[in-house]
Amino acid sequence: MNDEPRWLTAEEQLVWRSYIEAATLLEDHLDRQLQRDAGMPHVYYGLLVKLAESPRRRLRMTELAKYAKITRSRLSHAVARLEKNGWVRREDCPSDKRGQFAILTDEGHEVLRRTAPGHVNAVRQAVFDRLTPEQQESLGEIMRIVAEGLQPSEAGADLPWLR
């Protein structure tokens, strides 16, 4: 039995390091843009977007954590900050004593409306304007494959939103 790791080839190392560098720089770029324009990090913006897209601008906290791919404690902290800004409010779930809804307020919706043009411009300049349509399609396909492989469906999977 061979316990030797399958080391990355030189080409794979280049791809991996390029991905890490690009992902880190992109997240920093988007965070800086959103901090400048709305005083919030990228992850908070994503939470507001998901709530805006949800029926009645509300979502169970567990579903919001799953969407954001973050732990429930990190979500709770984020929602507390968004509540402090008046952009989100929480409401107890009538059918589940332990469950809560996060609800996008009118003020939060307005912040999102004002911030979205600058954010989409930052995304477009950083990613889409640099790629051909074929590269965009390939990138989307590759990222879907990677994401699907990292979200096992079996019970007890160690996923952030289950912690």
| Whole-number pLDDT of residue 162 | 65
The type of residue at 147 is A
Residues 21-39: tens digit of each pLDDT: 999 999 999 999 999 999 9
Percent of the chain with pLDDT over 90: 77
Residue by residue, DSSP assigns 1-26 as ------PPPHHHHHHHHHHHHHHHHH
pLDDT at 158: 65
Q: Among 20, 78, 25, 22, which Cα is nearest to 47's?
A: 78
How many other C-beta atoms lie within 10 A of the C-beta of residue 128?
13
pLDDT of res. 51:
97
pLDDT at 47 over 80: yes
Quickly list DSSP for 48-85: HHHHHHSGGGEEEHHHHHHHHT--HHHHHHHHHHHHHT
Contact between 34 and 40 under an 8 Å Cβ cutoff? The reply is yes
Q: Give the pTM.
A: 0.86
Q: State pLDDT tens for residues 69-109.
A: 888 889 999 999 999 999 999 999 887 777 899 999 999 99
Please say if the pLDDT value at position 160 is more than 90: no
pLDDT at 139: 97
